Structure 1
Amino acid sequence: LYHLFAENKIKKGIFFLIAAALTVITLFLPLIMQNGLDFITFYPSLVKWNMVIMNLTYLIGLLALAFLVVLMIISSKNINNVLKKDKNTIFALSTIILICSFFLICPYEVEYLLPAIPFALFFISKISNRRLITILCVLLILNSFVSISTPPNIIEKGVIFDETHLNIEKTKTTQKIIDMPLNDSIIISGEYYPIFRYLIASSDKSQILPVENNTKKNIPSYWDTESNRGYVYMADADEIIKWQNKGYKIYYMGRSACSTTELNYGYDLNALNCSNIFESVK
């Protein structure tokens, strides 16, 4: 698009598109060979915008986000002059607009905006002065260690400490669930699935079952043969009903597993009489 519209060079634009397509196909070739094209799909549900704003504030930091807004207002007068002189800035801005446009059409996860960050920093560095850019970068780094929030908890631990503590608690909770006497059950684990996979794979009580080669139907990958218990990342409604008809009790691991299922398959686990296992973990 940059070559076509900014430089009016059709050959370069076509060459770039072909090169980009070949690169993408090469990178995704292992996934395509394993799953075909079934993994290319639209989620039936979208992320709410209040969650997008909350997650952005959490990842970037309230101070950095506020300073970024002020910086853009101060530097906005330089945008036209920079775009006229620097073609790389046009390319960066075009990329940012393209990524954000796709996200506006399909707002699934905030992380899908991550590819725009390096282009955004490059663009800001072109329209602003080095001192302001330095302050912004310091605030972004600071958010990893110290989080500035709204009252009553104005100063809290940063993202790194918060995520570390959260992962420790997740591991403890997962181990408690593994030790619980849940016979004839299947647990929809969601984001806890990698932890289950690690803990159960190292256990002598479990055996690995083959994973169905279909991204829309995930059967339990790990099974406790003593308690006849399975663990699965997520599953569609038909699989849930099928397991229930076989006498299995279906649990899900908190709101995240429920929202992940709703995001990917468009139904509420509670509507199928699935139970929140966290209510049993004290």
Structure 2
Amino acid sequence: MINNLLKKDVLTIFLLLSTVLILTLFIKAPYEIAYIIPAIPFALLLLNNISKKKFFVVFCVLLLLNSVVSLFSLDNPCNISENGRVIEDGKYKNTLLVQSQKIVDANIRDSVIITSEYLPSVCYLYETSAKNRSLIGMVGFNYFEIKEHLNSQKNVKYVYLAPLDKIRELHNEGYKLYYAGNWAFRMTKCIYRYNLSNYNCYNAFLLKIISYSLLNQKDN
């Protein structure tokens, strides 16, 4: 196989070097497995050049099936197969939407909910129910900006994240403060370096204001 590879054209050598370079960089800094994705097109073209067509077709079919069915998961070694990434991602987004609707429907007033990842879907669902076409109050889309949306009917603010001075300001204005799940708690601690529970801010899901069933990977 090596001899065949050396006899190939410049394109094959380029594809090989590109694949090796990306994998080498990943080994040097293995932060996220997704960083290997850029190597996939180079590796596929390389495989097409150096292997038999039948093998290449079978490999591509298996690659596509992996999106639907995953074999021998590292998370659940006892399971021979489980849902692939596409199906799991679909389930996660559906759960996120259901939880966002519960945030919108929560029976609270004069409060602020730190929503983190829920904010875009919460804004959309609220404005859809209010029959408003514009997302009034949505500002910015950067982790370090204050992003919030106002439910004017209940005087409830949905905030993506908030620095400590914003939390103190909301307390002074008389708002009750909640955060939607452990992900919002952890994001706040990671980005703004303070603990929400130290400032009378409570997990809305644990208080059963909103029922909680988000996928385990966010809270485990």
TM (normalized to structure 1)?
0.56
Q: 1:269 to 1:188 in 2, by over 3 A?
A: farther
Counterpart of 2:89 (choices 159, 163, 182) is 163
The answer to whether the Cα contact below 8 Å between 2:108 and 2:154 also exists between their aligned partners in 1 is yes
Q: 1:114 and 2:42 equivalent?
A: no
After TM superposition, give the deviation of residue 199 of structure 1 in Å: 0.2
Q: 1:205 to 1:237 in 2, by over 3 A?
A: farther
Q: 1:125 and 2:48 equivalent?
A: yes
In the other structure, the counterpart of 1:64 is: none
SS at structure 2 position matched to 1:250:
strand
Partners in 1 of 2:108 and 2:131 — Cα distance?
14
After TM superposition, give the deviation of residue 143 of structure 1 in Å: 2.2
Larger helix fraction of residues? 1
Superposed, which structure 2 residues align to 1:24-173 within 5 Å?
Answer: 78=2, 82=5, 85-96=8-19, 97-98=21-22, 101=25, 104-105=28-29, 107=31, 109-149=32-72, 150-173=76-99
Partners in 2 of 1:87 and 1:247 — Cα distance?
69
Using the aligned pairs only, state the percent identity: 36
SS at structure 1 position matched to 2:79:
coil
Q: 1:181 and 2:104 equivalent?
A: no
For 2:146, give the aligned amino acid. Answer: N
Q: 1:228 and 2:129 equivalent?
A: no
After TM superposition, give the deviation of residue 168 of structure 1 in Å: 2.5
In the other structure, the counterpart of 1:219 is: 147
In the other structure, the counterpart of 2:166 is: 239
Partners in 1 of 2:84 and 2:142 — Cα distance?
38
Q: Hey, which bits of structure 1, 4+ residues long, moved more than 6 A?
A: none
| CA RMSD, Structure 1 to Structure 2 (Å) | 3.6
Partners in 1 of 2:25 and 2:107 — Cα distance?
49
The answer to whether the Cα contact below 8 Å between 1:183 and 1:229 also exists between their aligned partners in 2 is yes
Q: 1:104 to 1:242 in 2, by over 3 A?
A: farther
Q: Is there any run of 5+ residues in structure 1 with no aligned partner, and where?
A: 1-76
The total of aligned residue pairs comes to 202
After TM superposition, give the deviation of residue 103 of structure 1 in Å: 8.5
Partners in 1 of 2:129 and 2:181 — Cα distance?
24
Partners in 2 of 1:113 and 1:266 — Cα distance?
30
